[in-house]
């Protein structure tokens, strides 16, 4: 009997040793904008991440937008992604991906005291109100995306519709400034950092903002993952979210913001002065310090999609929330 107990003890010790030396979880993290979410910029700051390299590491994977990142999540090519409410609804209603869960906030537009994305027009085109857009061409970054929905909602408020009264074309953010200034389009989404370009701002002005269009805050992006990944890796993911929340708070802390801006300038190759004009400040979008998305705003965005005809049915957002990881992570922080 004693020999059996000794054998059991040895096996248990070996198992514990193996567990202690297990490889850290590789989190394949999708990203779209370098300065938002769990991107290569975060990896560059890994010396500030307490659990990085022990319980997890990050493998950042770039996508042009929510739709391709969702396709990668569906195929198992990525583990956690930032998505808009439009992509979430499409995945749940059309693709029947019922195991998707919203796990954290990325950023919100139109929160009181913070930025709301402007929709820009040229100074020389005599467009002073939304109705003046009739007969013109306007640019959006992604048909059915969060800002596209806001644009269409604003147009509808003023009895304008795509194809009937205006022409909506797609463009990536990097080309929008030149398209507007070269008169190829007459309105663009004023995304950062392009909208902070002094030459662009001197030639343009905001006709309205996303907050004007929606009447309140918009949960632009959330982080999502699949239940199998969450259930299998819960302990490592709590460490991951603890580090992400701590790093975000550090970036937004006035005492550490200059070093965060310098890091962003180095990684994105953007001028420090331009990034310093908005990034990690109240001139930027709002990111919840506890990682909590606004479920009400998320639901409102989805309902707006249905009202605009982008989906035939809505969903109850609360069914697809799993905020237990960020809640547990937030408890660990002061």
Domain locations in the chain?
A: 2-108+218-277+286-332, 118-214
Fold matches, 2-108+218-277+286-332 and 118-214: yes
**18 has a pLDDT exceeding 80:** no
Q: Distance (Å, rounded) from C-alpha 249 to C-alpha 287?
A: 10
One of 3.40.50.720, 3.40.50.1820, 3.40.190.10, 3.40.605.10 is the CATH number of 2-108+218-277+286-332, namely 3.40.190.10
| Residue range 76-86: mean pLDDT, rounded | 93
Q: What is the pLDDT of residues 212-232, one digit of tens each?
A: 999 999 999 999 999 999 999
pLDDT of res. 196: 87
Q: What is the pLDDT of residues 249-259, one digit of tens each?
A: 999 999 999 99
pTM, entire model: 0.86
Half-sphere exposure (CA, 13 Å, Cβ side) for 55? 14
Work out the pLDDT band at 64, boundaries 50, 70, 90.
confident
Which is more confident, 317 or 143? 317
User: How much of the chain exceeds pLDDT 90, in percent?
Assistant: 75
Retrieve residue 276's tokens: 């310093």
- Given a contact cutoff of 8 angstroms between Cβ atoms, the answer to whether 284 and 115 are in contact is yes
Superfamily of 118-214 according to CATH: Periplasmic binding protein-like II (3.40.190.10)
**286 has a pLDDT exceeding 90:** yes
**144 has a pLDDT exceeding 70:** yes
Long-range contacts of 250-255 (CB under 8 A, 24+ apart): 250/48, 251/280, 252/280, 252/281, 252/287, 252/289
Retrieve residue 39's tokens: 């991107």
Average pLDDT of the chain to the nearest whole number: 91
| Residue range 190-207: mean pLDDT, rounded | 92
Q: What is the pLDDT of residues 83-137, one digit of tens each?
A: 988 889 988 888 889 999 999 999 999 999 999 999 999 999 889 999 999 999 9
Q: Distance (Å, rounded) from C-alpha 119 to C-alpha 220?
A: 15
Among 1-10, 283-292, 300-309, the range with the most confident prediction by mean pLDDT is 283-292
Q: What is the distance, to the nearest Å, from the Cα of residue 230 to the centroid of all Cα atoms in its chain?
A: 19
| Residue range 58-86: mean pLDDT, rounded | 91
Question: For residue 190, what are the CA distances in angstroms to 90, 120, 175, 180, 221?
Answer: 25, 6, 11, 11, 17
> Quick one: three-class SS letters along 125-166?
CCCCCHHHHCCCEEEECCCCCHHHHHHHHHHHHCCCCECCCE
User: What radius of gyration do the chain's Cα atoms show?
Assistant: 22
Which is more confident, 224 or 13? 224
**148 has a pLDDT exceeding 60:** yes
């Amino acid at each position: 009997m004693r020999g059996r107990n000794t054998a059991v003890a040895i096996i248990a010790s070996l198992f514990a040793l193996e567990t202690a030396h297990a490889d850290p979880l590789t989190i394949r993290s999708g990203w779209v904008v370098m300065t938002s979410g769990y991107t290569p910029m975060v990896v560059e700051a890994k010396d500030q991440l307490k659990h990085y390299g022990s319980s997890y590491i990050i493998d950042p994977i770039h996508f042009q937008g929510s739709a391709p990142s969702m396709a990668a999540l569906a195929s198992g090519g990525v583990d956690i992604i930032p998505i808009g409410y439009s992509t979430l609804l499409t995945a749940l209603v059309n693709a029947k991906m019922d195991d998707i869960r919203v796990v954290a906030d990325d950023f919100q537009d139109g929160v009181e005291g913070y930025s709301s994305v402007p929709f820009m027009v040229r100074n020389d085109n005599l467009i002073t109100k939304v109705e003046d857009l009739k007969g013109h061409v306007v640019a959006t970054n992604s048909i059915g995306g969060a800002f596209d929905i806001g644009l269409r909602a604003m147009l509808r408020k003023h009895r304008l519709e795509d194809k009937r009264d205006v022409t909506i074309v797609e463009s990536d953010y990097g080309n929008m400034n030149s398209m507007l200034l070269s008169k190829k389009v007459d309105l663009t989404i004023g995304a950062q950092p392009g909208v902070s370009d002094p030459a662009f701002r001197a030639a343009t002005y905001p006709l309205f903002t996303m907050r004007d269009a929606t009447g309140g805050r918009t949960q632009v992006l959330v982080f999502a993952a699949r239940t199998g990944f969450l259930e299998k890796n819960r302990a490592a993911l709590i460490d991951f979210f603890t580090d992400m929340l701590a790093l975000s708070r550090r970036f937004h802390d006035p005492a550490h913001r200059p070093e965060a801006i310098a890091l962003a300038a180095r990684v994105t190759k953007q001028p420090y002065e331009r990034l310093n004009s908005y990034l990690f400040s109240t001139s930027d979008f709002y990111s919840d310090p506890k990682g909590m998305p606004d479920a009400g705003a998320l639901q409102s965005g989805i309902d707006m999609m249905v009202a605009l005809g982008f989906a035939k049915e809505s969903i109850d957002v609360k069914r697809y929330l799993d905020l237990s990881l960020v809640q547990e992570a937030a408890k660990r922080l002061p």
